[in-house]
Amino acid sequence: MQNNLNDDREKVGNRLRDARVMAGLSQEQAAQKMNLNRPAISEIESGKRKVSAEEIIQFSDLYKVDKSWLLLEEDQTNAEFPPQVRFAARELSKLKPEEMQKVIDLINMLPKK
């Protein structure tokens, strides 16, 4: 049970790190915008520190990613064509498969209404 919680915390941390990098922010910059210190961001991203619900909301606003994606609630990263992008398949087919996958991964991160 404890191991599962630690695994999830690490996965959430990995997603927060990926989202921060994709947003173009350093740990220092993210910390400043979140009113945290830099080590706190580092600990969160390595899964050593728990993230509160309020912080998840703030992170999702700052990094412009979906809260559910951060919390592993909509894990569709293995789906070849998640529902949101099915309609865009004709357009995406202009890309090479590896580039198409990058776009699909990104679409999975997008904040939903």
- Least spacing, CB of residue 63 vs other proteins, in Å: 9
Write out the residues near other proteins by the rule CB under 8 A.
Answer: 21-29, 32, 38, 64, 84-85, 87-88, 91-92, 94-96, 99, 102-103, 106-107, 110-113
Catalogue the long-range contacts made by 21-30 (C-beta closer than 8 Å, 24 or more residues apart): 22/63, 22/65, 22/106, 22/109, 23/62, 23/63, 23/64, 25/62, 25/63, 30/62
- Least spacing, CB of residue 1 vs other proteins, in Å: 34
* CB-nearer residue toward other proteins: 49 or 67: 67
Residue 13 φ then ψ, to 5°: -60, -45
- Least spacing, CB of residue 94 vs other proteins, in Å: 4
* CB-nearer residue toward other proteins: 10 or 23: 23
